[in-house]
Amino acid sequence: MTPFRAGLTALILTLLLDQASKLGLYFGTDLVLTQPWRLVPFVDFVVVWNRGVSYGLFQQEGGFGRWFLVILSLAAALGLGLWMRRAGSRLLAVALGLIVGGALGNAIDRAAYGAVFDFVHLHAGQWSWYVFNVADAAIVAGVIGLILDSLSPARRTEPGDKAQGAPARGDPAPRL
């Protein structure tokens, strides 16, 4: 599978899983009325409408802020999607696909409902983490993938790089 196809697969799966989980929990259950649902001692399902960005920062109450964040998400998804198209490794493409799928999933929520539906609440004792969703988790996983890809010692070259002084297979150093 090419890097782009792997990234596109990650994007589509992220978007589908994100939207299916949100729609299923919100419209297919009585979570809104019976929350919180304790899954395990440190994880609850709750309903939180996030009108801001990551971790609830920059809460937007008006229409301008809502649509600004939708447009910003779509612009970021487009830019990262173009990067994904040119990715030289599957790890990079999948990481970008996760981020784009998550950004699109949250943009859909924001456009449709004016806020992002978050539902996973992690906590332990007095410690409480932010409430998040599948899209948010995919974005975090994608960023971790970007970091890992940037630390990868594997050298990725484009087919035309050999003429520009890239080392040939077995060469110890680039030609100057």
Contact 44, 131 (CB under 8 A): no
CB-side exposure of 169: number of CA atoms within 13 Å?
A: 1
| 171 tagged catalytic | no
What dihedral do alpha carbons 18, 83, 76, 135 form, nearest 10°? Answer: 20
AA letter at 134:
V
Which has the closest alpha carbon to 26: 138, 141, 134?
134
Measured in degrees and rounded to the nearest 5, phi and psi for residue 148 equal: -60, -40
Among candidate residues 30, 118, 149, 171, the one labeled active-site is: 118
Is the Cβ–Cβ distance between 45 and 35 less than 8 Å? yes
Structure tokens at 9: 């697969």
Catalytic residue, from 44, 136, 161, 171: name it: 136
Could you give the residue numbers annotated as active site? Answer: 118, 136
